[in-house]
Structure 1
Amino acid sequence: MPSPHRIALLFNANKVYDRHVLTGIGQYLTSTRVEWDLFMEEDFRCRTVGIHHWRGDGIIADFDDPIVGETLCGLPLPVVAVGGSYADPANYPEGIPYVATDNAKLVRLAYDHLIDQGLQRFAFYGLPPTPGNRWAMEREQAFLGMTRADSLEGMVFRGSPTSAGGWGIAQEAIVDWVRSLPKPIGIIAVTDARARHLLQACIVADVPVPAEIAVVGIDNDPIAQLLSRIPLTSVIQGAEEMGHTAARLLHQMLHGGRLAEQRIIVPPKGINVQASSRHEPMSNQHVMRAQHYIRQYACLGIKTDQVADYVGVSRTLLEEHFKRELKLTVHQAILRHKLQTAQRMLVDTTVPLADVAVRSGFTSLQYMYAVFRRELGCTPRQYAEGLQGGEGAPRDAEGLAAVDDTAP
C-alpha cells in the first residue's frame, strides 16, 4: 500500500465556522475512503510557525487570516485556500484555488427575511476594520448596497473589538446605539457572537425584541444559542460544503490536477428562524413590554403578577390588553413560550425529558406531559419521535388552545 499523503489543516478550531469547514473535510475523507495523514496545530496561534520546513504533501488553510495567506503564497506544494468571498476579484490570492462563503448571499438571506417580517428600517452591527476582518467589511458593504438599491438608509455600527478589560465601555456604547435607533427596526449582525452582544444590549436598554428590534446573526452557532435568553435567528453558512469542496480540490491536485485559478463560491444553506426576528407589530405598548419580559423569564417560573409589575399596570388591566391584542391570557402566553422552548429542546434526543421539563419551566415532568397531550395531542416522547421521523408534530404551540389559567 502506498503511504498516505501528509496534509496540514491550518484552521482555528475555536471558531464554529472553522469547525464546520473541518467537518466537511472529514466527510470527504470518509465518503471517498481517501487516506490522509492529517496535521493540525493544537495551538492555532502557532499554525504557521515553521510551516516552510514542514515536509508534507499539501495544505488546506483559512485565508481570512492574512498571515496565513502571506506565509503560504509561493510554497512549492499544493495549497487550497478557504475564506470569505470578495466583490473585487483582485482580492483573491493568485495561483491558489479558493473556496469561499458567499458573503453577499449570507446578508441577502438575512435582509430578505427581515423584509418578510414587515420591517422597513434596517441596520448592521459589524466589526472594526482590520486586515483579518475583510470578510466583515464585505458583509457590511453588501448590506449597504442592498439598502441603497431599495432607496433606504442603511445604518451601520461597528462597535469595539471584544476584550474583557473594555467590555463595560463597549456594552455601554452598544446600549446607547440601540436606544438611539428609530424603531421598529431589523438589525443584521455580522456574526452570531455580535448578535448575542446585541441581544444583551437590548435587555440592558429595556428595548423589546423582536417587537422594536428584530435581530439576525450569521453562523448558526449553538453556543450563541445556548448563551442567549432570546433564541437567535441565524443564517446557516455552507461551511461543511466548503470543507468538502476544498478537500476534493486538494485531492485532485495531489493527482496532477491543475486548478490554480479556480474560484468556488458556496451559498448559505438557509436560515434558522427563531424568536429574535419574529417581528409582530403590536399597537399596544403594554403587551409589547410584557412579551419582552415573558421571552426572557417565562422558563424561570414567572407568574402573571410579576409580568404586570414589570409593565407597571394592574393584572386586570394587563389581562384586558392581552385578550384584546392576542386573544390570550397572560398565563397562556407564558405557557406558550414554555411549550415552544420544550419543542425546540426535543430536537436533541440526547437531552433527558426531565431536563427538558426543568429547563423549559414546567413544575414537573408530569405537568409537561399533560400540557403536551392537551395542546399538541401527543406526549413529548411522541413529539420527539415525530421530529426524528420527519413527520413533525400534530400541532404547533403557536396555535395554543384555551388553557386552564389556574394551572401551575
Structure 2
Amino acid sequence: MSQQFEVALIIDPGSPYDRRIVRGVAEYVHRARREWSLYVEEDLVDRLPDLRAWGGDGILANLDDHRIAAAVTSLGIPVVGIGGGYGYYEENPHIPYVRTDNRAIARMGAKYLLNLGFRRFAFCSEPPTKYNGWAKEREEAFVATIKEASFPCEVFSGRHSPAKQWRQSQLALQDWLTKISTPTGLMACHDGRARHVLQACRAVGLRVPDDVAILGVDNDDLMCELTRPPLSSIEQGALRVGFEAAAMLDQLMQGRELSQCQASIPPEQVVTRQSTDVTAVADPDVAGALEFIRENACKPIHVSDVLEMARLSRSTLESRFREAIGRTIHAEIRRIQVEAAQRLLITTNLPIKEVVQRVGISSVQYFTAVIRNATGQTPGEIRKSALK
C-alpha cells in the first residue's frame, strides 16, 4: 500500500479551467494508485485552512494570485504551482511550476482561422498588468503566425479595464471594430474578452461570424453556449496541467528530486461553435466544397466525391482550391481527418483501431504513417505526450 498524504488543492473550484485541473490531479492519483486525502475549498483565501496547524504534506496552488502565493510558499512543505506563468511565480522561479503554453494556444488559434480561409485578422487583448503577461504572449505569437502566412493583423488592448470602466472600455472596443476591414478572423486572449468583442460587434452592427468570426480561449462551455451566437473557444490542456503538477508534488513529498522543475502544457483543441462557423473564401464553389469536406471527411470521402458535389472538373476545382487556400482537395480531406484523429487521441481512451475507423482511414498501418507524416509523432506518442 502506498504512503498516505494530506494534500491541499488551493485553486478556484468555481472556474471551469481549475475544475479540469482537479480532474487531472484525480486522474494521477487513480493511475498511480496513491492514497491521498485532498483538501479543496471554495474560497481562495478567507477559507484556507490554518496551514501551519493543518499539518499536511503538500500543496498544489494557483500562484498567479499573489495572496495565495504568500500564504503557501513559506511553510516548509512541498509546494507545486500552477497558472499562466505570471504574477507571483515570475518572481520565484525556484518553485516547481506547471503552466499553460500561451504561445502554442495562440498558434493553434491562428492556424484554425487561417484554415477557415480568412485573409484579414485581428487579436483582442486587454490592458497590460503585472499579472496578465500571458495575454501579451498570446498576442505576440498570434501576430507572428499570421505574419508568417503573409497576412495583416490588427491588435487591440485598450486603456480601460472592463471590470472597472465597462462603458469606456466597450466604447473604445466598438470604435476599433468599426475601423477594421471585414471579413476578419479574430482571436481574443480569453473567453471573457471574446464575449466583450461579441457584444461590441452587436452594438455597431457587425455580423458574427459573417463579418467578424470570434475565437476565445478557455472553453467555459456554460458561458460559451450562453452567448449569441455561441462562442468557439480553445480548450487549454488543464487536465494535463493537473496531472503533471500532481506527479511533481508526489515526487517531492516522497523526498525525491525533480528531473524537471517546470512544465509548459500545450492546448488540446479548438471547440467550434457558431461564432466561427463560416468559410471565409470568396470563391463560392471552393467555399461549398470546403463545407462539404468538413462535414464528410471522416465518413470517409474521396476527391471524386467532392468533384461530383461541385459539378466541376478536377483540373478546374484543384486550380481554384490552390488559389483560395493554398492546398489540394486531397490535402484538405487529409487535414480534417488528422485533426479529428488528434482530438480523439488526446481527449478519449478509444483503442487506436476504433480511432482509425472513426476518421475514415483504411488501416491502422496507413493511419500511423499518415499521422507521423503530418505531426512527426506516432498515434501512441501523441496520446502519451497528451497525458503522461
Please give the secondary structure, in 1, of the residue aligned with 2:199. Answer: helix
Per the alignment, residue 177 of structure 1 pairs with 176
Partner deviation per Cα, 1:122-144 (whole Å, 9 max, x = no partner) = 21111222233222222123223
State the Cα distance separating 1:276 from its structure 2 match: 1.4
Report 1:219-298 matches (<5 A): 219-259=218-258, 261-281=260-280
Per the alignment, residue 40 of structure 2 pairs with 40
- Shift of the 190–255 alpha-carbon distance from structure 1 to 2, 3 Å rule, reads same
- Shift of the 187–137 alpha-carbon distance from structure 1 to 2, 3 Å rule, reads same
Per the alignment, residue 135 of structure 1 pairs with 134
Please give the secondary structure, in 1, of the residue aligned with 2:14. Answer: coil
- Shift of the 51–98 alpha-carbon distance from structure 1 to 2, 3 Å rule, reads same
**Structure 1 stretch 1-10 or stretch 128-137: which is displaced more?**
1-10
Q: Retained in 1: the 8 A contact 2:110–2:146?
A: no
Report 1:51-200 matches (<5 A): 51=51, 54-85=54-85, 91=90, 93-150=92-149, 152-159=151-158, 160-163=160-163, 166-200=165-199
CA RMSD in angstroms, aligned pairs only: 3.1
- Shift of the 147–50 alpha-carbon distance from structure 1 to 2, 3 Å rule, reads farther
- Shift of the 258–148 alpha-carbon distance from structure 1 to 2, 3 Å rule, reads same
- Structure 1: runs of 5+ lacking an equivalent: 285-389, 393-408
- 1-side partners of 2:198 and 2:157: how far apart? 15
- Shift of the 282–105 alpha-carbon distance from structure 1 to 2, 3 Å rule, reads closer
- 1-side partners of 2:281 and 2:106: how far apart? 27
- 2-side partners of 1:69 and 1:275: how far apart? 39
Instruction: Report the AA paired with residue 100 of structure 1.
Output: R
How many residue pairs get matched?
286
State the Cα distance separating 1:114 from its structure 2 match: 0.8
Per the alignment, residue 29 of structure 1 pairs with 29
Per the alignment, residue 18 of structure 1 pairs with 18
State the Cα distance separating 1:52 from its structure 2 match: 5.1
- 2-side partners of 1:75 and 1:154: how far apart? 47
Instruction: Report the AA paired with residue 167 of structure 1.
Output: W
Partner deviation per Cα, 1:29-62 (whole Å, 9 max, x = no partner) = 2333422222233312436685455422101011
- 2-side partners of 1:63 and 1:150: how far apart? 36
Q: Retained in 2: the 8 A contact 1:121–1:186?
A: yes
State the Cα distance separating 1:277 from its structure 2 match: 1.6
Instruction: Report the AA paired with residue 23 of structure 2.
Output: T
Partner deviation per Cα, 1:79-98 (whole Å, 9 max, x = no partner) = 11112258xxx947333222
- Shift of the 61–9 alpha-carbon distance from structure 1 to 2, 3 Å rule, reads same
Q: Retained in 2: the 8 A contact 1:98–1:262?
A: yes
- Shift of the 281–134 alpha-carbon distance from structure 1 to 2, 3 Å rule, reads closer
- 1-side partners of 2:162 and 2:54: how far apart? 34
Q: Retained in 1: the 8 A contact 2:109–2:142?
A: no
- Structure 2: runs of 5+ lacking an equivalent: 284-356, 360-388
State the Cα distance separating 1:193 from its structure 2 match: 1.6
Please give the secondary structure, in 1, of the residue aligned with 2:132. Answer: helix
Q: Retained in 1: the 8 A contact 2:118–2:280?
A: no
- Shift of the 152–52 alpha-carbon distance from structure 1 to 2, 3 Å rule, reads farther
- 1-side partners of 2:225 and 2:238: how far apart? 21
- Shift of the 155–67 alpha-carbon distance from structure 1 to 2, 3 Å rule, reads farther
TM-score (norm 1): 0.62
TM-score (norm 2): 0.65
- 1-side partners of 2:244 and 2:48: how far apart? 23
- Shift of the 200–35 alpha-carbon distance from structure 1 to 2, 3 Å rule, reads same
Larger radius of gyration: 1
Partner deviation per Cα, 1:158-196 (whole Å, 9 max, x = no partner) = 244333x74333323222222121212111111112112
- Shift of the 122–66 alpha-carbon distance from structure 1 to 2, 3 Å rule, reads farther
Instruction: Report the AA paired with residue 20 of structure 2.
Output: H
- 2-side partners of 1:148 and 1:282: how far apart? 19
- 2-side partners of 1:168 and 1:211: how far apart? 26
Q: Retained in 2: the 8 A contact 1:237–1:269?
A: yes
Partner deviation per Cα, 1:356-403 (whole Å, 9 max, x = no partner) = xxxxxxxxxxxxxxxxxxxxxxxxxxxxxxxxxx979xxxxxxxxxxx
Instruction: Report the AA paired with residue 61 of structure 1.
Output: A
- 2-side partners of 1:174 and 1:53: how far apart? 49
**Structure 1 stretch 39-48 or stretch 173-182: which is displaced more?**
39-48
